[in-house]
């Protein structure tokens, strides 16, 4: 069975890029928050071991200044099973490490969760919304062009969360359906059903993401911990590679 682990190689790369003293600097900054770690702990993280608690996972992501979801990967087997297990256990309070999933996934009246960004990252989410007018056109894939706003995206990945809602269904609550990570020349999409796709492009300035505009009107939202801009194109306006939500 596949399981969620830390992307140890990425963690090590981010420590090197963010802290001149590498692990010792990370430990010093961690100790200043009131809960110490040691070199052995950090070494285990760079080899894929998860932090012992959800708060520690979020603290690590905060110190590395990246979205916590981009630090997670899968060791083997079925990605779909791993995602279903993590979401199910988080919703039933059986997996404290991923407790923050409870306010992120599933139907939410407020999305993205403000407490995650303000408490753990000391900032507000960057958000952009757009509308699907089904009376004008329906049942096609629109292309969302996302331009990262943070510097150094070649080194520090930027994550973009996607959600939608139908005002007349589920009391207008939001449903997060996946995320996209831009890192260097790579664009990677992960849907909550376990499906993923990606592409690479040299001199990557923006990412093309296809998302389905169905038979009913809907509101969409994209959220990131770092600045960005976007525009929505009709499929015939888009050229080149893209990732696509199923």
One DSSP character per residue, 133-177 reads -TTT--SEEEEEEEEE-STTTTTS-EEEEEEEE-TTSGGG-EEEE
CA distances from 139 to 85, 148, 179, 205, 216 (A): 31, 28, 21, 29, 9
Say how many CA atoms lie within 13 Å of 127 toward its Cβ: 16
Q: Final residue of a domain: which of 86, 103, 120?
A: 103
Q: What b/e readout covers 70-97, taking b as 16+ CB neighbours within 10 angstroms?
A: bbbbbeeeebbebbebbbebbeeeebeb
What's the confidence (pLDDT) of residue 33?
56
> What is the distance between the alpha carbons of residues 99 and 61, in angstroms, rounded to a whole number?
15
Q: Can you give the CATH number for the domain in which 226 is found?
A: 2.60.120
CA distances from 181 to 28, 76, 163, 198 (A): 29, 20, 15, 9
**By residue range, what is the domain housing residue 16?**
4-103
Question: Looking at the structure, do residues 126 and 232 belong to the same domain, yes or no?
Answer: yes
Question: Looking at the structure, do residues 116 and 234 belong to the same domain, yes or no?
Answer: yes
What's the confidence (pLDDT) of residue 64?
95
Under 8 Å between Cβ of 227 and 147: no
Report if pTM > 0.75: yes
Q: Final residue of a domain: which of 51, 79, 103?
A: 103
Question: Looking at the structure, do residues 99 and 153 belong to the same domain, yes or no?
Answer: no
Question: Looking at the structure, do residues 33 and 45 belong to the same domain, yes or no?
Answer: yes
Looking at the structure of the chain, the number of domains it has is 2
Question: Looking at the structure, do residues 114 and 227 belong to the same domain, yes or no?
Answer: yes
Question: Looking at the structure, do residues 138 and 223 belong to the same domain, yes or no?
Answer: yes
Question: Looking at the structure, do residues 153 and 54 belong to the same domain, yes or no?
Answer: no
Q: Final residue of a domain: which of 83, 103, 123?
A: 103
Chain segment 202-245, per-residue pLDDT in tens = 878 889 999 999 999 999 999 999 999 999 998 888 788 999 99
Question: Looking at the structure, do residues 123 and 209 belong to the same domain, yes or no?
Answer: yes
Question: Looking at the structure, do residues 15 and 37 belong to the same domain, yes or no?
Answer: yes
Question: Looking at the structure, do residues 186 and 82 belong to the same domain, yes or no?
Answer: no
Question: Looking at the structure, do residues 44 and 78 belong to the same domain, yes or no?
Answer: yes
What's the confidence (pLDDT) of residue 196?
86
Question: Looking at the structure, do residues 179 and 59 belong to the same domain, yes or no?
Answer: no
Positions of the chain with pLDDT under 50 = 1, 78
């Amino acid at each position: 069975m596949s399981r969620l682990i830390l992307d140890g190689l990425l963690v090590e790369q981010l420590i090197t890029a963010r802290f001149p003293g590498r692990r010792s600097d990370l430990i010093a900054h961690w100790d200043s928050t009131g809960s110490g770690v040691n070199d052995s702990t950090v070494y285990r993280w760079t080899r894929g071991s998860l932090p012992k608690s959800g708060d520690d996972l979020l603290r690590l992501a905060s110190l590395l200044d990246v979205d916590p979801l981009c630090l997670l990967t899968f060791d083997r087997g079925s990605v779909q099973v791993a995602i279903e297990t993590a979401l199910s256990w988080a919703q039933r309070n059986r997996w404290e490490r991923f407790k923050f999933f409870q306010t992120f996934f599933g139907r939410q009246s407020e999305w993205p969760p403000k407490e995650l960004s303000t408490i753990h990252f000391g900032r507000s989410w960057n958000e952009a919304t757009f509308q699907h007018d089904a009376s004008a056109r329906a049942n096609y894939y629109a292309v969302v062009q996302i331009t990262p706003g943070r510097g150094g995206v070649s080194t520090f990945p930027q994550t973009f969360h996607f959600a939608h809602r139908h005002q007349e269904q589920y009391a207008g609550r939001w449903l997060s359906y996946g995320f996209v990570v831009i890192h260097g020349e790579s664009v990677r999409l992960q849907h909550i059903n376990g499906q993923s796709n990606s592409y690479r492009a040299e001199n990557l300035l923006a990412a093309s993401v296809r998302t389905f505009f169905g038979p009913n009107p809907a509101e969409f939202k994209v959220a990131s911990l770092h600045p960005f801009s976007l525009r929505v194109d009709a499929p015939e306006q888009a050229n080149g590679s893209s990732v696509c939500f199923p």
